[in-house]
Amino acid sequence: MTITAEQNYQYADLSRLMGLMTGDEKHGPAATSTMDALWVLYDRVLRVGPERMGDPERDRFLLSKGHGPMAYYAVLAAKGFVPVEWLPGFGSYDSPLGHHPDRVLVPGAEIGSGSLGHGLPIAVGTALGLRAQGLDEPRVWVLIGDAELDEGSNHEAIAYAGPAGLDRLHTVVIDNSSASHARPGGIAARFEAAGWSAATVDGRDQEALYAAFTAPHPGRPRVVVAQVEPKFT
C-alpha cells in the first residue's frame, strides 16, 4: 500500500474532494457537519501525519461519528494519509474507504467506527492507557455527534473522565440538533457537571474552533460543542 506525501490542499479543496465520492447511503449531512472541525484539527491542532502513524508520541484522533465519513476521508486525502485516487471508489466492494471507517484498511484511522456511543468510551480507555505507559505528551481527541449522547455508554464515560482528571482527553461534539432527548442547560452543562472544561462555539467559525480547541484546561478533560445548522434544514 502506497501512502502519498502530504498534499498542498486547502480547506477550499475539501468540497471538491468530497465531490469525488459518489454512490448511495452517503449520509451527506452527517459528513458536511464535521468539515470545519475536522479541518481545524488536522490543519492546525493535531500532532499527526503520514510519517508519524506508528509514533507512540503522536496525538490520537478517534472518529466516533463514523456513519458519515466523507469529510474525514477528504481531510485524510488532503493531508496525505490516503491517495486522492482512492476517493472515487468510496463505498464500492473493493474499496478500503467504506461507509464506516476501518482502522485496518484506512491509514491514519485509529478505530473502526460507526456504531454510535463507542468512541468516547474508547477515548477514555486510550487516555488511561497512555497515562499508564507514562506517555504524557500525546493528546486524545474524539469527535462525536449530539445524537450519540442518547447512548448511556457516553454518560458513563463522561462521569468517569472528569473525576479521573484525564486532561489529555478532548471531545468535540457536533451539535446539529439531532439528539432525541434535551439536555437541561445544554450539552456543555452536562459535561461541566462531571468536572469537564467546556465551551460552546459556532461550528462553522474556524477561528472560534481553534481558540476553543487550544484553550488551557489543567487537570480536567475538555469538551467543545460545535453548533452547526440543524440536520433537517
Q: What is the pLDDT of residue 2?
A: 39
Grid coordinates in use for 78? 488532503
d(CA 15, CA 58): 28
Q: Helix, strand or coil for residue 60?
A: strand
Burial level of 191, CB count in 10 A (0-12/13-18/19+)? buried
d(CA 164, CA 124): 10
What pTM does this model have? 0.92
Closest Cα to residue 6, out of 75, 78, 60? 78
Write the CB contacts of 115 (distance below 8 Å, at least 6 apart in sequence). 66
Q: Which residues share a beta bridge with 227?
A: 175, 202
Q: Give the position of cell 476521508.
A: 73
pLDDT band (50, 70, 90) for residue 7 = low
Q: Helix, strand or coil for residue 41?
A: helix
Q: What is the pLDDT of residue 180?
A: 64
Q: What is the pLDDT of residue 233?
A: 43
Residue 176 in contact with residue 146, Cβ under 8 Å? yes
Neighbours of 88 (CB within 10 A): 14
The pLDDT tens digits for 147-162 are 899 888 999 999 999 9
Residue 67 in contact with residue 25, Cβ under 8 Å? no
Q: Among the residues of 55-186, which ranges form H helices?
A: 70-78, 119-132, 152-161
Q: What is the pLDDT of residue 222?
A: 98
Q: Taking 50 as the threshold, does the pLDDT of residue 4 lie above it?
A: no
Q: Helix, strand or coil for residue 123?
A: helix
